[in-house]
């Protein structure tokens, strides 16, 4: 039974998230339908991360097992993409992998990027792809606040109240804030994240950038281990899963 690794991009706006469910269209279901249309098989597309409603991806990773070895990687990619049209999902690469590879459990890091557009004018082209913040943001102060979150901590203050993770303990390897003209990027990397963790960290850093909070307030929020102690949840549309890493 051949196993293939898929690298996938998608616009999360029309979907209720990655994971297959009954209350609306999902990315996982779109891919599974495309595989079935191509092969005649109903297979599970196992993803590396379960992105939320409205969250995008440029580097999601998944794997599938096919019952036949008649198809090579290029054929799988082209055929699945043909059956995905017109849904905003594309398979960027397919490669054969061994049976020990698992898109979720083999991953050693995941990376997300959050985009803020910091200007007074409303968003015409970036609507649904960025958080529009009118108040001027101080990126240096935001980075100072972000530095307080690095390392191994109890991130209860930054997890969704309905998060299903067994433990709030996570190790945040990187959290970088940078300005590129009117665009501010918040880039986070960790082995895994809690539900809404990145969006809640971004919402907190916005308060710091506006001067409403200091970096010390970020530390106090982290130490409180209480969701109500941290900032608001940033909108989903600004968040993109940019990559998943695996051992060589």
How far is residue 52's CA from residue 234's CA, in Å, rounded to a whole number? 13
Residue range(s) in the chain whose domain bears CATH number 3.30.70.660: 109-245
How far is residue 67's CA from residue 242's CA, in Å, rounded to a whole number? 30
Residue range(s) in the chain whose domain bears CATH number 3.30.70.580: 3-97
Return the pLDDT at 69.
Answer: 87
Closest CA to 220 of 158, 137, 159, 131: 158
Return the pLDDT at 36.
Answer: 96
Return the pLDDT at 1.
Answer: 86
- Strand, helix or coil at 34? helix
Return the pLDDT at 68.
Answer: 87
User: Pick the catalytic residue: 52, 65, 126, 154?
Assistant: 52
Torsion on CA atoms 245, 129, 200, 106, rounded to nearest 10? -20
Return the pLDDT at 164.
Answer: 84
Q: Tell me the CATH class for 109-245.
A: alpha beta
- Cα-based angle 39, 10, 164 (whole degrees, multiple of 5): 95
Q: What is the CATH number of domain 3-97?
A: 3.30.70.580
- Assess whether 217 carries a catalytic annotation: no
Return the pLDDT at 109.
Answer: 98
- Strand, helix or coil at 172? strand
H or E element, residue 9: strand 3-10
pLDDT digit string (tens) for the chain, length 248 residues: 899 999 999 999 999 999 998 889 999 999 999 999 999 999 999 999 999 999 999 999 999 999 988 899 999 999 999 999 999 999 999 999 999 999 999 999 999 999 999 999 999 999 999 999 999 999 999 999 999 999 999 999 999 988 888 999 999 999 999 999 999 999 999 999 999 999 999 999 999 999 999 999 999 999 999 999 999 999 999 999 999 999 97
**Which residues are 133's β-sheet partners?**
118
Return the pLDDT at 172.
Answer: 98
């Amino acid at each position: 039974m051949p196993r293939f690794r898929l690298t996938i991009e998608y616009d999360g706006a029309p979907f209720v998230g990655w994971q297959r469910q009954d209350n609306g269209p999902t990315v996982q279901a779109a891919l599974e339908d495309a595989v079935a249309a191509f092969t005649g098989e109903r297979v599970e597309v196992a993803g590396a991360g379960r992105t939320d409603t409205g969250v995008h991806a440029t580097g999601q990773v998944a794997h599938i097992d096919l019952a036949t070895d008649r198809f090579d990687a290029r054929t799988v990619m082209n055929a699945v993409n043909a059956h995905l049209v017109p849904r905003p999902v594309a398979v960027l690469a397919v490669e054969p992998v061994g049976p020990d590879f698992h898109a979720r459990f083999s991953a050693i890091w995941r990376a997300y990027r959050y985009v803020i557009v910091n200007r007074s004018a409303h968003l015409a082209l970036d609507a649904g792809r960025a958080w529009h913040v009118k108040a001027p943001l101080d990126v240096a102060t935001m980075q100072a606040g972000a530095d307080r979150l690095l390392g191994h901590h109890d991130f209860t203050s930054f997890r969704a109240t309905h998060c299903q993770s067994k433990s709030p303990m996570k190790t945040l390897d990187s959290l970088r804030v940078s300005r590129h003209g009117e665009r501010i990027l918040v880039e986070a990397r960790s082995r895994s994240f809690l539900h809404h963790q990145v969006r809640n960290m971004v919402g907190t850093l916005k308060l710091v950038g506006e001067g409403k909070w200091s970096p010390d307030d970020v530390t106090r929020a982290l130490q409180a281990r209480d969701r109500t102690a941290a900032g608001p949840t940033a909108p989903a549309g600004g968040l993109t899963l940019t990559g998943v890493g695996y051992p060589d």
